[in-house]
Structures are given as C-alpha cells and as structure tokens.
Structure 1
Amino acid sequence: MNRRILAAAAVVALAAGGCTDSAPESPPSSPQAAKRDFKPGEDGVGDPYFPTYGNGGYDVRHYKLVVKYDPSTDELTGTATITAAATEDLSRFNLDFVGMSVSSVKVDGADAEDKREDAELVVTPSGGIAKDAEFTVEIGYSGKPVPIKSPDFGEGGFLHTDDGAIALGQPESASTWFPVNDHPIDKATYDVEATVPEGLAALSNGVPGGDADSGGWTTWKWSEKVPMASYLAFLVIGKFRVETGEHKGKPVFTAIDSKLRPGSPADQAMAQTTEIADFLETQFGPYPFQAYGGVVVDDDRIRYALETQSRPVYGGLFFKQGPFTEVVAHELAHQWFGDSVSVAQWRDIWLNEGFASYAEWLWTEEEGGLSVQESFQREYADTDWKNPTADPGRAGLFGRAVYKRGALAVHALRLEVGDTDFFRILKTWTAEKRNGNVTTADFITVAERVSGESLDRLFDAWLIGQSPPEIPG
C-alpha cells in the first residue's frame, strides 16, 4: 500500500499518553504510588493537523455539564464535572478551554491549582494521579463565551444570537462553552442541563429529559449515553417550534427556528428524518443511537449542516428553495460514518465525508432521481485528480476532494467487489468499529477481509492518485 495512505492511517490513541477504552483498574496503594514518576500530560494527542487539539495522559469517560445562559447579558455560568481515567502517572493535565473565567477547580473533591495558557486550562491536583486510576474533575466557570476564529475554517463555536446562542462547529467548538478533551479520539458520554429564560428552548444531543420552569427560567435536560466525539456536542438556545414523537421505541425530537413559518420546506424535510434513517439502516446496518431528530437554525452565519450526534443541526439556507432532503441523508449517514465510527486523526476525514456524500447518491436514487451510477459518472467527469482524498492537508479538510472524490472511491469499491460484498463491507465496518476510532488502513483491512480481494491498488488510485483512475468493471 502507498506510503501516504499508511501515513494517513497512523493511530494517535497511544500518542502523548493516548486514550483507551479499557476499564480502569484500582489505583495502587500509597507506598507504591510514592515510587511512581508522575509527569505532566501532553498538551495535545499528536494529531499532525492540530498539534494542540486534545490532551494526553487521560481518557474522559463522562461529562456532566450544568450551564445557565442569559441572552440579555450574554453571560454563561457553568459547572463541568468530568469523570476520567489516567493513562499514565500524571502530575498535572490540560483541558481545552477558550474564553471564560475559571472560579474553582477540584480533583476528587480537593482543591487543585489551575492556570490558563492560551486555549489550555492547566490543572495541577494536590497529589499525583496514578495510571489507571479513575478521577473526577469539577470546574466552575463563567463569563461571556467567545467564538473561535480560524483562517482555514472561519468562525465557529459559541455564537450569540438575537434571542439566544448557537454553540456549534467543526473541527472544534466544544471548548468555547465547557472545558473538554477536544479531539475525536477521546469519546465520552454526556449529561447536559441547560437553564435559560422562560420561553426559550435549550437544545442538545441525545435523549430529552424534559424541561421544567422555575422563577422565570426553564431548565432543559439531555442525555447522550453512547460515546460521542467532543465536536459533535452542541447547544442551541432560542425560540423554536418543537415536534416530539417516537420511532421504533426511541424518542424523536425536532426543532425548527421560529423565524421559519410552520409548514415550511424545513418542516417538510425534518418530517422525513425517520424515513431517511430507516432507508439508510437497510444500507449501513442498525441505527446506532438512542434518539432521532434535527434542529434547523435560521442564522446567516450557519451556512452548513453538522452531524451533531443523534440530532443534526442544519442551517436554514438549505431549505430556502424546498425540502432539500439530500442534506438530511448526508447528515444522517454521518450517524454511522463519523459519529458512531469516528476518525482517529483528522486527515482520515474522508471516512466521514466520502460515505455521507455517497449516501446522498443512494437517497437520490431511492427517491427516483439519478441512479448512483449516473451520479458517479457525472462527478468522475468533473473531478480534479490533483487534490488527494486521503491526507488532504489541513486547509483541504472540507474540500471537494474529501467529499466528492471520497464518494467516487466508495463507489469504485462497489464496482470492484460487487453489490453483495460491498454492502457486507459497510455493515461489517459499522458493526465491528461501532463507538470506536478508525483509520484508512483499518477500512482497507476490513474491505479486503470481507471481499477476499487485494485492494491496495484500488485505494491508492482513487484516494491519492494524480490522474483519472480506470473505472472497475
């Protein structure tokens, strides 16, 4: 296999102390701990595109976020309770956190030292944390959240709106509203409790836990019990038309910005959420989460849709001309490709976007439009093969080569191995890698095992080749 694909497959789970999903063991006794060589955790997980994203030395298991936001003052107060396990002997560790002031930090109930270094919160507990020990960090914070501005990706994270706020974005956004280990390699479960002025909704991921009014404020609760990458966590506050229901025993929760009229194309598109999810389930395997839904925001700054876990968020512009359900298919496909099965490094993002773009072709064909083969042929003729799909470079993360050339590579695999093996590959991939982190090499390994074919040359040509590859078949 080409060296560039091998490089793109490097796993960062072990870099800088890494993150693991193994169960924590009991911490050693005090005499043993005294002999340990406690060291600071790294201020990144070793991702070549984003060296300071995430942090080494620990693996977060759960976030409990309790926040209160007042749009009239743009003030947010919060408490983040983070349960984690040490992956090395730690003298101190970092969390990613932008903006707001920290008022208190406790580790296992004891006061800890903290200092800010740019977008890092450095925490020094009163004593070292032994490898494999589980520990709890409680952080109190407050202030006016600020967005992140990037020359490559624009403005994202916490955005103040006329009636609330939108905390959303990729590749980072979570650190603008809570302290976090902000890299997809460290997935965790979440409980979110958001209090906002009465009359506003506070929307987030997972299963809705209801809302309750008290003293002019409303508290909304959400629970995501399936491990989630931090960039998929979102918070949207404002006036929304909410629709609730149930599908296959799971809650369905959709919310449409109140600025969009009832019965709008956005409403029509959201009404097809479960229908599209059911179709994709026939292609990719069982739906991987405990809730369905979607949120549509009408804000000119949100000129994209994002696959926020269990409940994608869509910019209203997608539905200005009609119920554009291809974008719904794209974001729902990410529930399998990107959310349930997540990248280990950002340079493997085609594993998210190539398959989600391919899902658009599948849904278009299902709806009676162009066949997948016709969509493939059109895109093949319009592709600039000089731009690689695998390892596209930081600035190319969200480029056409990742999305559309990625979809071409997916269909080339289908043409090479045939429909039976192709869909077996997809369902095997989503089942075996569920809730995990993956690389390009991992996918090729599964595809070769299931199909019984050597596929190195195919993927070299379609992912990184510099000229139009020969179409299989």
Structure 2
Amino acid sequence: MALSRSARLGALATATASFLVIAASSAPTHGAPGIGDPYFPRLGNGGFDARHYDLDLAYAPDTGRLDGRATLRARATRHLSSFDLDLQQLHISRIEVDGRRARFTRDGDEITVTPRDDLRKGRDFTVSVSYGGVPEALGGPIVFGSRYGWMKTADGVFVACEPNAASTWFPSSDHPSDKATYDIRIKTPKGLTAVSNGRLVSAFDKHGSTYTHWRESRPMATYLATATIGKFDVRTGRTPGGTPIYVAVDPVLKDANSVDVYAVTAAATDYWSRVFGPYPFEETGAIVDDMPEAGFSLEVQSKPAYSAVRSETTIVHELAHQWFGDSVSVAQWKDIWLNEGFATYAQWLWAEHQGTRSAHDSFLAGYASRPADSSFWQTEVADPQRDTMFASAVYQRGAMTLQALRERIGDTAFFKLLPAWTRLHRYGNASTADFIRLAEHVSGRQLDDLFDTWLFTTGKPAL
C-alpha cells in the first residue's frame, strides 16, 4: 500500500525527531563530581561503575611518603566525554585511560579526567593514575572528634577510613554505593608487615624491601580498604567452623589486654555465621595496632582494625559489621544505623548467647539510663546529619529499634529476617526503606508505627 505525500512527510518528521532524541541522549557528557549523597555531595562519581582497583603502593615510614599507581577498571554508565575521581592531598604526575595519556584538571579533591576518545555507554575502560606525597589523617567532628584515615604510627601506619578518607591514599569513587574488588600490592622496608583485605597472595623480600600482595575478591566499599603497616605478630589458621583466619597484633600490645583476639574472633565469626547467614568473605581476622590517637576501631573488610582492643564486645561488634555494613552496605550515609544499630544489637545478642544478660534487659537498661530530656533522644536515627552520624543514638537507639521489632514480630520471624536481609542484599547496598519493606514481608505485619516511633521521630518513646 502506497503512502500519500503528506503521510510520507509526517513519517519523515517523526523519524527525524526520533533520531534527534536518540542523538541527544547519546551525546557525550561529563560524568558527575559526586553520586548525590546529601552528607558528602562530592564523594563518589557519576557516569561510571567501578569494577576493580589494582593498587601498587610503596611506603617509606621514615619520611611518611607514599608513592602509588592505581589502576581502576570501570564501566561507563553513560556516554562520557570526561569523568571525575576523588583524591585528597596527593600530587598526580600522570593519568592514562586505556593506556593512552589523558588530560586532567583538579578542583580541590576532585580530579576531572578527559580521555582522548569519548567512552560510550556500556564500555569497559581502565584509568591508571600515578601519584605520590605524604598522606595526612583527617580530623574534625565526624568520627568522635578523632583523627582518622591514614595515621602514622611509631613503626608504620594505621589505616581506617570511614567515612571519607579512602581518597587520602588512593584515587577512587569514594562512596559505599560504588563497590569493587581489589588487588593491593604494598612495598615496605624489610622487617615490616603490610596487612590488607581479603587473602594473602604472596609476600617476599628483595633488595632490602618486602613486597606483599593482598586480594579482596568480594565487592568492597572504599572506606573498608586498608594498607596497615608495622611490626606485627601474625597468627593464622581456621576457625572451628572452617573459615580461614589471620590475626596481626602489634607486639607492643601483647600484654596490654586480657582479651584473646584470635579466640574471640574465631568464636564470633562462627556464631554470627549461624545467626546472620554464611560468612560473606574469604577470610576473617583482626589487625591490632598501637595507635592510641585514633581511639576507635573499624570494621575493615575481612580484618577489623583495632587501635587497641578494649573489650570482647568491641570484637563481636566489628565482626557483626562484616554482614551489616561490609557485605550489606548503606545506600546513603544517612542509613548508617543499618550498620551501627545492627552491630550494637549484635553485642546484646552476644551477651544473650553468653548467658550474661538478655537483649530485652539490655534494651531496658539503655532506655532507663537516659531521661526524657536527654539530648540522646533528639537525634533522628534515620537521618542523623553528617557531623553527628556516629552519635550514640545511632548505635543505641538503632539497637533499641531492633529489639522493639523483635518483641513485636516474635523470635521466629525476627531470626528469619536477619539472614534474609544479608542474603537479599549480599555484596550490595540497601536503605532503611528496604529494611522496613523486608521486615513487613517476612513478618506479614504492617510496621510503619514502630519504625516511625523509633527511627523517624525525636523524643523518648513511651513503652
């Protein structure tokens, strides 16, 4: 059937319009200087998905200088003419994209990279950055008013980077929503041990230096990466349940604490594997370093890092994070109670498991110890704000929320919910809304009032 002239012109106009829309949508654009997290708007980067970091590092403890070459494999999520990376403090000498030198500009902590050719949406590419300098720890109100990030010690460095310090030592898309796998190679003076994530691939001495290669084959948020260096006594083996374990303890702290880090790590890893679901990583362990200025511990993926072990409950807290925070990571930093509330509740579960106090009694003790006019009750747990994202209410009221939920839906549904959560979002990211939906699905109950009361409302709830 032949078309009339007017019909042919109409069809041509429609086709032309469609072509222009397609052309416009595929036109190359700049990525984005951040993923849009309201707490850290310029962290992370838009336009690509990080897949794998290959970090080749050399650290000189006597001068504090770090030299590195970071190669990131990524996939373009839009048609890119340029894209950003996060890097604080350190000097960049060269950037290559797919082996060809690329132009770059710098605006503070944001590095804008312009490759020679556009990167089509869906294309895999590599970007290699050669850089160096003396990393400095960050400070300020966010992490308990403490220093954090790349922290020099008497014999090396203690590296604990939550929430925004990974980019003080390697260029990255520095947000937990952009996970990747890692190979981390570290050159140090002979006699020092470099400890990182995942499993040890190789370690050897050559020409007065020690070369160590670690591989994290499971997706990891940038803030969970470490390259802690120093003198350590190392013990390896397997937990009774069969999980490989690597524990490194600074010999200075050998007799400073009565806690058996190796034994507690093994026992807690196996117990949480029964309660929360299978252990999500290739190895469990610990890094215990003499770094009193830090004053905190961090759930470094596969090997929590302790500035000094203060108690058994600190260990069980950080190991619970391997499920809640490391495997299942926050979608945005305002969801931090999904990490800290769960790990604090794990401490209550551990006491219950040990027969020393029930989680119900831990809940009542925390509730009763804070009067209604305490500032503790003025934090909105579901959105605690950036500078108070680690406020005690995020930990304790977050844990109270879970106990209130347990008592509402019953033990059967509650202990079905926890492994369902870690299984559904394994190696991914999730939000408070995701947890509420799953809790309602597993329990078969409508729970808006409970979560509104405990997470989204300030003031001391009535019991």
Decide: shared fold, TM above 0.5: yes
Superposed CA RMSD in Å reads 1.7
3-state SS of paired residue (1:453)? coil
Partners of 1:198 and 1:217 within 8 A in 2: yes
Tell me what 2:343 maps to. Answer: 356
3-state SS of paired residue (1:421)? helix
3-state SS of paired residue (1:59)? strand
d(CA) in 2 for partners of 1:466 and 1:438?
Answer: 23
Tell me what 2:4 maps to. Answer: none
Partners of 1:312 and 1:332 within 8 A in 2: yes
TM-score where L is the length of structure 2: 0.91
* 1:253 equivalent in alignment to 2:246: yes
Partners of 1:266 and 1:296 within 8 A in 2: no
Tell me what 2:8 maps to. Answer: none
Structure 1 residue corresponding to 2:91, chosen from 87, 91, 101: 101
In structure 2, do the counterparts of structure 1 residues 191 and 33 end up closer, same or farther at CA, with 3 Å as the change threshold?
farther
Deviates more, 1:384-393 or 1:142-151: 142-151
Q: How does 1:423-434 map to 2 (within 5 A)?
A: 423-434=415-426
Cα displacement (A) at 1:126: 0.5
Cα displacement (A) at 1:464: 2.3
Structure 2 residue corresponding to 1:274, chosen from 242, 266, 282: 266
Structure 1 residue corresponding to 2:354, chosen from 352, 356, 367: 367
Return 5+ residue gaps in structure 1 as ranges. 1-31
Aligned residues, how many? Answer: 434
Tell me what 2:157 maps to. Answer: 165
Cα displacement (A) at 1:36: 3.7
Cα displacement (A) at 1:388: 1.5
Structure 2 residue corresponding to 1:125, chosen from 115, 139, 146: 115
* 1:234 equivalent in alignment to 2:226: yes
Relative contact order (C-alpha < 8 Å, sep 6+): which is higher?
1
Using the aligned pairs only, state the percent identity. 47
d(CA) in 2 for partners of 1:250 and 1:366?
Answer: 21
Partners of 2:142 and 2:390 within 8 A in 1: no
Cα displacement (A) at 1:250: 3.8
Partners of 1:203 and 1:236 within 8 A in 2: yes
The letter for the 2-side match of 1:271 is A
In structure 2, do the counterparts of structure 1 residues 466 and 139 end up closer, same or farther at CA, with 3 Å as the change threshold?
closer
* 1:301 equivalent in alignment to 2:288: no
Tell me what 1:382 maps to. Answer: 369
d(CA) in 2 for partners of 1:34 and 1:398?
Answer: 44
Cα displacement (A) at 1:381: 1.4
Partners of 1:156 and 1:172 within 8 A in 2: no
In structure 2, do the counterparts of structure 1 residues 365 and 38 end up closer, same or farther at CA, with 3 Å as the change threshold?
same
d(CA) in 2 for partners of 1:429 and 1:36?
Answer: 37
Tell me what 2:7 maps to. Answer: none
Tell me what 2:14 maps to. Answer: none
Per-residue deviation, residues 23-60 of structure 1 (Å, max 9, x unmatched): xxxxxxxxx99994111111010001111111111100
d(CA) in 2 for partners of 1:403 and 1:178?
Answer: 29
Q: How does 1:124-273 map to 2 (within 5 A)?
A: 124-153=114-143, 154-247=146-239, 248-261=241-254, 264-265=256-257, 268-273=260-265
In structure 2, do the counterparts of structure 1 residues 161 and 466 end up closer, same or farther at CA, with 3 Å as the change threshold?
closer
In structure 2, do the counterparts of structure 1 residues 35 and 280 end up closer, same or farther at CA, with 3 Å as the change threshold?
closer
Structure 1 residue corresponding to 2:78, chosen from 85, 88, 105: 88
Tell me what 1:332 maps to. Answer: 319
Tell me what 1:79 maps to. Answer: 69
d(CA) in 1 for partners of 2:293 and 2:262?
Answer: 21
Cα displacement (A) at 1:169: 2.3
The letter for the 2-side match of 1:253 is Y
d(CA) in 2 for partners of 1:438 and 1:67?
Answer: 32
Partners of 2:147 and 2:294 within 8 A in 1: no
TM-score where L is the length of structure 1: 0.89
Tell me what 1:466 maps to. Answer: 458
* 1:315 equivalent in alignment to 2:295: no
3-state SS of paired residue (1:360)? helix
Deviates more, 1:392-401 or 1:443-452: 392-401
* 1:344 equivalent in alignment to 2:331: yes
3-state SS of paired residue (2:105)? strand
Return 5+ residue gaps in structure 2 as ranges. 1-21, 371-375
The letter for the 1-side match of 2:190 is E
Tell me what 1:3 maps to. Answer: none
In structure 2, do the counterparts of structure 1 residues 34 and 433 end up closer, same or farther at CA, with 3 Å as the change threshold?
closer
Tell me what 1:24 maps to. Answer: none
Cα displacement (A) at 1:139: 1.1
Structure 2 residue corresponding to 1:421, chosen from 413, 416, 439: 413
Structure 2 residue corresponding to 1:53, chosen from 40, 43, 50: 43
- Runs of 4+ in structure 1 off by over 4 angstroms are 32-35
Partners of 1:67 and 1:195 within 8 A in 2: yes
Cα displacement (A) at 1:151: 4.1
d(CA) in 1 for partners of 2:184 and 2:199?
Answer: 10
Tell me what 2:30 maps to. Answer: 40
The letter for the 2-side match of 1:347 is K
d(CA) in 2 for partners of 1:63 and 1:372?
Answer: 40
Per-residue deviation, residues 170-196 of structure 1 (Å, max 9, x unmatched): 111211111010000000000101010
Tell me what 1:21 maps to. Answer: none
